[in-house]
Amino acid sequence: MKILMATMGMNIGGAETHILELSKELKHQGHDVIIVSNGGVYVPEIEAAGIRHYQAPMHRRGFREMRRSRTILRDIISRERPDVVHAHARIPAFLCGSLQKRMGFPFVTTAHWVFDTSGILRYLTNWGQRTVAVSEDIKEYLIREYGLPPEHISVTINGIDTEKFSPAVSGERVIREFGLDTSRPILSYVSRMDADRALVARQLIQIAPELDRAIPGIQLLIAGGGNVFDELKALADQTNQRLGRNCITMTGPRTDINEIVAAGDLFVGVSRAALEAMSAAKPVIVAGNEGYHGLFGPDKLAEAQAGNFCCRGLPVSRPETLLADVSAAFSLTWEERERLGAYGRQVIFDHYSVRRMASDCLTMYEQVRRRKYRVVMSGYYGFSNAGDDAILESIQQAIHEASDEVAVTVLSNDPDLTRRQYGLDAIPRFRMWRVFSALRRSDALLSGGGSLLQDTTSTRSLFYYLSVIRCAELLGKPVMLYANGIGPVHKPANRRRVKRVVERAALVTLRDHSSARELRDMGVTRDDIRVTADPVFHLAPAGEARCAQLLSGTGIPNGRPFVAVSVRGWPGTGEFPRELARLCDHLHQAHGLEMLFLLMQPDKDREATRQVRERMSTPSYVLDAPCTPRELMGVLGKAKLCLAMRLHTLIFAARMAVPSMGLVYDPKVDSYLRELDLPAAGNVDQFDGGEAIRRADQMLADYDGVLYRLKIRSGELAQEARENERLLLKLLEESKR
């Protein structure tokens, strides 16, 4: 990929070194990297690595400088056409964000620290399409202060070049340059000498006379430049004059930080500088403007990692504490200091490699980069219906497995929920201008899966899906009816509308043979319609531990076999709740099975579930915790038997090879039972509990045979479901010719 890094400047600093090492590693891996900044001491090293650098005054917040920087960025992006723009720091991110909407480039940011969010400053921030945070506490800050979706934030590390910062690196050249005495102790310190970063440097200068008394002949090697450097240099000169020797050396800004670190016997610093010193196997006192951690060792690893070695949330650094810890560190034996250094270097190898940092960023780039193809998915998404959400997740998963060159935009009733749960781009399904814009930019419309083309729910629902399809057709976009269930369509005018849409579609796949028969009955004659399978046969269940946790929360006796029951509210069911309760009681009393009710769409299933449970004479349980489709599938997979009114509960059960009986409220349930060679317990509008009990007993008597046949059929359907993606990719390739 071609990656453009935008940052304020490339002078000494933790974030700047992070960008330098990240860019060099990406370049090493074969990517083309460009950096735009105000320049700085690292520019020669950047250019020596084959990385192009452009200059822009992004270190200033003034209107004139920001306008100039924006113009420079716009021209560079237009000329270079990067695959992704990666901004670091508030001003570069704001400027890139102001260009991104119009120019449409993929946009990632990194949060290296927390910002002041008061007043207008909150709005001078843009976190891009994805954000990389350098620590968990910064991720929590982004969620808390800016409301960023957690799934859009990746936590990375400050990757360290372990060859550049190594015990093998010599500090001799630096020692000679500054006339240091290797027979005397040397403490090295690196930081920007800015007012908000140089607290510990100031404290070291302040306690130098006391350090000289506690550790005779100690030498302080302080590297870095910034807006308080001149002030601190004057204080250091005064201290040296009082001591009558050159105790404190202020180097100013340097790029040879590895040699500065190598020259010292002990390092004091924070964040990336502390990690670099650890990589060089130096004992490290972690201290900075945001807090004080002290001498690093195994007992402090978790605390240090929590704040990315920045000391956020820890007590402030105090001169007397710093004095005591430096004195204690130099009083350690050589072997003890060697042991601390070796441990620190091992921590870097285990947790802070440059390769890991680059990998984290590349993962985020992959999520936002331009794909070869763009598709829009239209369906019943964003309504907290586990069946339809499972369709969405399984289609997205199957498309990604088939090709990583397909970007998916979902038309959702709740775009924030869809983005949060599945990390997919989503737009409001009823904002027709947004829908039109997404279709205009797309290569195809996927309508489905599920039973979208039906008028049992309402003609209005059918009209919505037909309108989206018609919009795509008017824009000249191919339409794929993706693993659709067709019907029932009752009204003659609606049947004619569905027939026209099916005949014009570029590609039609159906999830069952009854849908194919329904289309033939409508007069559809095309012979290229493919019967595949429901996409949910792709979906993997949640892990064992999570499913066990959810089951435990229901109160169901541990280890007892159970029946998963799924019912939904439906008009005209009469005595159905009472008759179903009879069946549930019988299964408990005659077969020793517990009853666990699942809520596939909680707001529509909860009342129907209550009506059945209150009519039972035996105990029952309900899973009413918030669950993802994969979690519901995993729990259902633990059942011995399933009683399902909702179609996708049946499909979940088939996917998990759990024998089922259908509670038929819609022809689609009956037709899918035939696809799976499973019995119906009865029709809910005239449900006979006695007949349902007879059928259940008959099924349980042949349980092993039913299970064997179901496993074979489930495997066949999983294979057939893969045809949907193969046909989709073929359609997309043809559309580009």
Half-sphere exposure of 327 (CA within 13 A, CB side): 16
State percent of the chain over pLDDT 70: 99
Strands 291-295 and 284-288: antiparallel
Structure tokens at 711: 């496993």
Last residue of a domain, one of 483, 503, 531: 531
Go through 496-525 and write b for each residue having 16 or more CB atoms within 10 A of its CB, e for each that does not. Answer: ebbbebbeebbbbbbbbebbbebbeebebe
Residue linked to tokens 């309508």: 447
Question: In terms of domains, do 145 and 183 share one?
Answer: no
Concatenating the DSSP letter of every residue in 23-67 gives HHHHHHTT-EEEEEES--TTHHHHHHTT-EEEE--TT--SHHHHH
Residue range 659-678: mean pLDDT, rounded: 91
Does residue 359 lie in a domain region? Answer: no
Half-sphere exposure of 516 (CA within 13 A, CB side): 17
Q: What is the pLDDT of residue 122?
A: 60
Q: Report whether 72 contacts 36 (CB < 8 A).
A: yes
pLDDT tens digits along 679-698: 999 999 999 999 999 999 99
Q: What is the pLDDT of residue 448?
A: 85
Q: Report whether 444 contacts 478 (CB < 8 A).
A: yes
Closest among 5, 737, 6 to 372, alpha carbons compared: 737
Alpha carbon distance 126, 130 (integer Å): 10
Please calculate the CA angle 296-299-304 and round it to the nearest 5 degrees: 55
Residue range 367-392: mean pLDDT, rounded: 88
Residue linked to tokens 């920007």: 192
* Distance linking the first and last C-alpha atoms of the chain: 24
pLDDT tens digits along 575-594: 999 999 999 999 999 999 99
Residue linked to tokens 């049992």: 456
Question: In terms of domains, do 508 and 377 share one?
Answer: yes
Does residue 163 lie in a domain region? Answer: no
Q: Looking at this protein, which amino acid is placed at residue 186?
A: I
Q: What is the pLDDT of residue 186?
A: 98
Cα-based distances in Å from 210 to 272, 614, 704 = 28, 79, 83
Structure tokens at 713: 């059929």
- Inform me whether the pLDDT recorded for 307 exceeds 90: no
Q: What is the pLDDT of residue 469?
A: 96
Structure tokens at 198: 């140089």
DSSP 3-state assignment of 571? coil
Distant-in-sequence, close-in-space partners of 102: CB < 8 Å, separation ≥ 6: none
Residue range 393-402: mean pLDDT, rounded: 86
Question: In terms of domains, do 10 and 139 share one?
Answer: yes
Question: In terms of domains, do 336 and 414 share one?
Answer: no
Alpha carbon distance 188, 263 (integer Å): 7
- Inform me whether the pLDDT recorded for 121 exceeds 90: no
Q: What is the pLDDT of residue 691?
A: 96
Cα-based distances in Å from 207 to 198, 317, 710 = 15, 13, 78
Does residue 415 lie in a domain region? Answer: yes
Question: In terms of domains, do 548 and 525 share one?
Answer: no
- Inform me whether the pLDDT recorded for 120 exceeds 80: no
Concatenating the DSSP letter of every residue in 673-706 gives HHHHT--EEEEGGG--HHHHHHHHHHHHHTHHHH
Residue range 668-679: mean pLDDT, rounded: 89
Least confident of 99-103, 121-125, 457-461, 683-687: 121-125
Question: In terms of domains, do 567 and 474 share one?
Answer: no
φ, ψ for residue 397, nearest 5 deg: -65, -45
Question: In terms of domains, do 672 and 590 share one?
Answer: yes
Last residue of a domain, one of 531, 557, 582: 531
Question: In terms of domains, do 145 and 181 share one?
Answer: no
User: Total structural domains in the chain?
Assistant: 4
- Inform me whether the pLDDT recorded for 574 exceeds 90: no
Model confidence at 118, in pLDDT bands (50, 70, 90)?
low
Half-sphere exposure of 456 (CA within 13 A, CB side): 14
Does residue 726 lie in a domain region? Answer: no
- Inform me whether the pLDDT recorded for 43 exceeds 90: yes
- Inform me whether the pLDDT recorded for 620 exceeds 80: yes
Alpha carbon distance 468, 432 (integer Å): 9
The answer to whether the peptide bond before residue 488 is cis (omega within 30 degrees of 0) is yes
- Inform me whether the pLDDT recorded for 51 exceeds 70: yes
Residue range 260-265: mean pLDDT, rounded: 97
Residue range 267-274: mean pLDDT, rounded: 94
Does residue 411 lie in a domain region? Answer: yes
Question: In terms of domains, do 9 and 112 share one?
Answer: yes
Does residue 139 lie in a domain region? Answer: yes
Does residue 167 lie in a domain region? Answer: no
pLDDT tens digits along 193-251: 999 899 999 999 999 999 999 999 999 999 999 999 999 999 999 999 999 999 999 99
Q: What is the pLDDT of residue 116?
A: 66
- Inform me whether the pLDDT recorded for 627 exceeds 90: no
pLDDT tens digits along 524-564: 999 999 999 988 988 889 889 899 999 999 999 998 999 99
More confident residue, 539 or 423: 539
Question: In terms of domains, do 524 and 548 share one?
Answer: no
Q: What is the pLDDT of residue 33?
A: 97
Model confidence at 152, in pLDDT bands (50, 70, 90)?
confident
Q: What is the pLDDT of residue 661?
A: 96
Question: In terms of domains, do 138 and 269 share one?
Answer: no
- Inform me whether the pLDDT recorded for 119 exceeds 70: no
CATH number at residue 237: 3.40.50.2000
Q: What is the pLDDT of residue 585?
A: 97
pLDDT tens digits along 157-182: 888 999 999 999 999 999 999 999 99
Range of the domain at 594: 544-721
Residue range 633-659: mean pLDDT, rounded: 94
The pTM (predicted TM-score) of the whole model is 0.60
Concatenating the DSSP letter of every residue in 93-149 gives HHHHHHHHHHH---EEEEE-S----SGGGGGS----SEEEESSHHHHHHHHHHH---
Last residue of a domain, one of 125, 155, 185: 155
Does residue 297 lie in a domain region? Answer: yes
CB-based burial of residue 174 (10 Å sphere; 0-12 exposed, 13-18 middle, 19+ buried)? buried
Question: In terms of domains, do 187 and 287 share one?
Answer: yes
Alpha carbon distance 641, 697 (integer Å): 12
